Structure 1
Amino acid sequence: MTELNELVSEQIFVIMSLLAVLVLILLIIAIVQSVKLGRLRKRYERMMAGAGVEDLESLLLNLKMQTDSVEDEQEKQRRSLMMIEQRQRMSKSKLGIKRYNAFSDQGSDLSFSLALLDELDNGIVLSGLHNRDSSYVYAKPLEQGTSKYALSPEEKEAVELARREGQQ
């Protein structure tokens, strides 16, 4: 019976020793986790210090709202830029002018033909004919660089000058 008591005592001692080792290991793990948690808390507090909010969720919601606002403003600017580009294509930005003497027997180069074209060569050609007694001004519409009205050689030259200006 004494042997049985000794055997039980030894087993209890081994079990107690194993439990002590297990408790020691768990204590070390708890200490390590506590240190890591403390470091993480310090990093979190440093990150949140200048944000003006109390928690990360509020910060993320605030950032999401700001991002949405920036995206809305960017969309407005994109639409505005498209409208500006469309208007710019339609503006009469190509110019060609030809001065000449319409009446070779009198005067000088006071007559002119002026072509104003947009990006698609739509626009107008103005001609001013000047002589000693009077002046006349004519306007002819242009679509893709041509007119349904007959163009004089000087008007054609003004249109070509405007087209070349657009290619530069």
Structure 2
Amino acid sequence: MNSELLNTIGIDPGYFIVGLIIAVMLMFLLIVISMVKLRKLNKKYNSFMKGKDAKSLEDIIIKKLEQIEKLVLSDKKNRKEIKLIKENLEISYQKLGIVKYDAFNEMGGKLSFALALLDKKHNGFLINAVHSRSGCYTYIKEIVEGKSYIVLAEEEKVALDKAINPQNYSE
């Protein structure tokens, strides 16, 4: 096949035809890709435009905005409540250590005990209940930052340490 125009330009007609075929194939591929993207976009558009008219779309948007406002208010309320809970948790007794023991050799059953109750900052109290044949006597000692200003008995020291360092004791 000869073409005077192509010969004048200096292009071989075979190369020209092959180039045109490649260009058509690329155009066909681009059309297929565009159709796939258009179909996806159309699905998104249809799901967005559910309803009969623009008025129903406006109603849906208004409802969603109202729901968002309610969620924002609820979130603020929840944050305040969580803050209050955290503040209360700081001062509540959350650490416990207890040691049961026999106060006197003639008594059995480990009826005496030392109980330490502390908050997050290791403040609280320690109760020691000493059981004997003549009765049960209880003593309380204040604990400030994990220490007592009154001398502690050995069982009380262990109960206090259990409350402060529970990971050191496995029962």
State TM-score, norm by structure 2.
0.60
Once the two structures are superposed, the pairs formed by residues 111-150 of structure 1 within 5 Å of their partners are 111-150=112-151
Tell me, what secondary structure is at the counterpart of 2:79?
Answer: helix
Q: Which runs of 5+ in 2 are unaligned?
A: 1-41
8 Å CA contact retained: 2:96, 2:116: yes
Count of equivalent residues: 125
Alpha-carbon distance, 1:102 to partner: 2.1
Distance 1:81 1:147 in 2: 32
Residues 105-129 of structure 1: CA deviation (Å, up to 9, x unaligned): x213322111111221111111011
Q: Which has the larger radius of gyration?
A: 1
Residues 59-86 of structure 1: CA deviation (Å, up to 9, x unaligned): 4344323211110111111111222222
Distance 2:87 2:168 in 1: 19
Give the 3 Å change call, closer, same or farther, for CA 45–102 of structure 1 in structure 2. closer
- Residue 107 of structure 1 corresponds to which residue in structure 2? 107
Alpha-carbon distance, 1:96 to partner: 1.1
Over the aligned positions, Cα root-mean-square deviation in angstroms equals 3.0
Alpha-carbon distance, 1:50 to partner: 7.2
The answer to whether residue 76 in structure 2 is matched with residue 75 in structure 1 is yes
- Residue 64 of structure 1 corresponds to which residue in structure 2? 65
8 Å CA contact retained: 2:114, 2:127: yes
Identity level (%) = 30
State TM-score, norm by structure 1.
0.61
Distance 1:84 1:76 in 2: 12
Once the two structures are superposed, the pairs formed by residues 26-37 of structure 1 within 5 Å of their partners are none
Distance 1:156 1:125 in 2: 10
Tell me, what secondary structure is at the counterpart of 1:126?
Answer: strand
Tell me, what secondary structure is at the counterpart of 1:49?
Answer: coil
